Amino acid sequence: MSAFSAFTSHCRTAPPRVAVVLGSGLGGVARAFVERAAVPFADVPGFAAPTVHGHRGELAVGLWSGTPALVFHGRMHYYEGHPRGVVTAPVRVAAELGVTRLVLTNAAGGIHPSLDPGSLMAIRAHLKVIGAGAWRAMASGTALTSPYSPRLLDRLAGLLSGVYAALTGPSYETPAEIRALAACGADAVGMSTALEAEAAAELGMEVAAISCVTNRAAGLSAAALDHKDVLVNAKLAVGRLGDLIGEVIAVPS
């Protein structure tokens, strides 16, 4: 029996209904999760081992505050050279295992004036600035999409509700790009989430997403952008983020 086949047998004993994707440096968020089994991404068909520091690269099944759940400790990014099918493979696997609700998290740069390191933002829509022609689509207004559940967003009413800009990466944005994103309504910026959210909505899942702001976006502070700082600052909000994920999970189906 393969490692993934053994993992799926654990899923059959208590079929997961919710899946949570933990972004860069956010592994500590899962304090309320009791793990029953786990499998490395490299052993899951269609997945790839992560190459980004701060992503554990495991899929786990267990209970989050008593609710059967999957937890993706990390994700595959478009900027790592993966095609969209690989980036969104976790969503399809979750759906095949019975998941009907997806909670996405990410580390992001703050553009909105109130989003300093340690802040959290509920994503109500995103600008998908990924791939060829993406900036042209943004300028024309066709890049804005909202696959996020209004019902779940209501549970996050205590947070700033904003627009997340998902860029190709892997380099951080320039100050000029941040000014352009701000002019188009972006409140936070990162390199993930959008493709996963759209794939989940297409499969009929309810989707919620929360950005953990780990730095001010390029040109909005004197500090140079560094992934090490992202991982350190992500820890500023893990407790609060974990509580919010628990609230989203607790919303009745």
146 with 110: CB under 8 angstroms?
Answer: no
List pLDDT tens digits, range 10-21: 899 889 999 999
Classified as helix, coil or strand, 109 is strand
Distance CA 161, CA 163 (A): 7
Using DSSP bridges, classify how beta strands 120-129 and 144-145 pair: parallel, antiparallel or unpaired: antiparallel
Taking the mean position of all CA atoms in its chain, how far away is CA 117? Answer: 17
Structure tokens that stand for 123 in this block: 């994503």
CA distances, 223 to each of 52, 107, 179, 227 (Å): 22, 17, 17, 12
List pLDDT tens digits, range 132-181: 788 887 777 777 899 999 999 999 999 999 999 999 988 888 999 999 99
User: What local confidence, expressed as pLDDT, does residue 55 receive?
Assistant: 63
Instruction: Classify the C-alpha dihedral 56-84-241-151 as positive or negative.
Output: negative
Distance CA 247, CA 155 (A): 7
> Would you call 39 exposed, middle or buried from its count of C-beta atoms within 10 A (0-12, 13-18, 19+)?
buried
- Report the predicted TM-score, pTM, of the whole model to 2 decimal places: 0.93
The CA-based angle 155-60-72, given to 5 degrees, is 55
Mean per-residue pLDDT, 184-190: 95
Contacts of residue 120, defined as CB under 8 A and 6 or more positions apart, other chains included, come to 159, 160, 210, 211, 212, 213, 237, 240, 241, 244
In the CATH scheme, what is the code of domain 3-250?
Answer: 3.40.50.1580
- Write down the H helix ranges in 105-183: 134-140, 150-155, 175-183
Mean per-residue pLDDT, 63-84: 94
Any idea where the domains of the chain sit in the sequence? Answer: 3-250
